[in-house]
Amino acid sequence: MEASTWLLFAIGCLGGTDILLFHSIGHGLRKHPPSRNELWSHACRGPVYAALFVLIPSVRLEGAWFWALLALLAVDLLISVWDFSVESRSRAPLGGLPTGEYLLHVAIAMVFGALVATTLFEGGHQLNAPTRIAWSPAPVPPLLRWALLAMSPAVLLSGLLDARAALRLSGARRSA
């Protein structure tokens, strides 16, 4: 899954940029009560990408496990639709979604589409194979696999912080 690994790395870098520049520095979403639903969508995305960052560059998923990988990609697509649907209300009090963030989301969506296509192209033959998981590092530089492994706990932590902030903001809303 060589191309899929590179595309996943690109998504990780673009997503990290989005979180740092726009969610944290630009809008401080974790402190903004109207962003609760957006934060929940981000919290759901954390475990999805934590799994993808470990699985795609390091293991071969065959049979039902490959179907599970495709299901994980479909879940991420649904999370994206949810995120896009709540984002405009979340950001309205902050002046709306910045143009740079919108363009970054378009780029991420395009790379995500390429990730799905290459995952199917590179691993589609595994759909009907006997169900198993095998250690099978992608033919990419080891540093790239290590970078993705480092991104896994980072995105999981970001998702947990988003969930904690959403809970806190929900409690602040009830007490106000």
What local confidence, expressed as pLDDT, does residue 26 receive?
Answer: 87
d(CA 101, CA 175): 32
Residues forming a β-bridge with 59: 135
What local confidence, expressed as pLDDT, does residue 174 receive?
Answer: 55
Per-residue pLDDT of the chain (176 residues; tens, 9 = 90+): 999 999 999 999 999 999 999 988 888 999 999 999 999 999 999 999 999 999 999 999 999 999 999 999 999 999 999 999 999 899 899 888 999 999 999 999 999 999 999 999 999 899 999 999 999 999 999 999 999 999 999 999 999 999 999 999 988 655 55
Name which of 23, 68, 20, 17 is nearest 41 in CA terms: 23
What local confidence, expressed as pLDDT, does residue 172 receive?
Answer: 61
Residues forming a β-bridge with 60: 134
Residues forming a β-bridge with 135: 59
What local confidence, expressed as pLDDT, does residue 171 receive?
Answer: 80
176 CB neighbour count, 10 Å cutoff: 6
Domain boundaries defined on the chain: 2-175
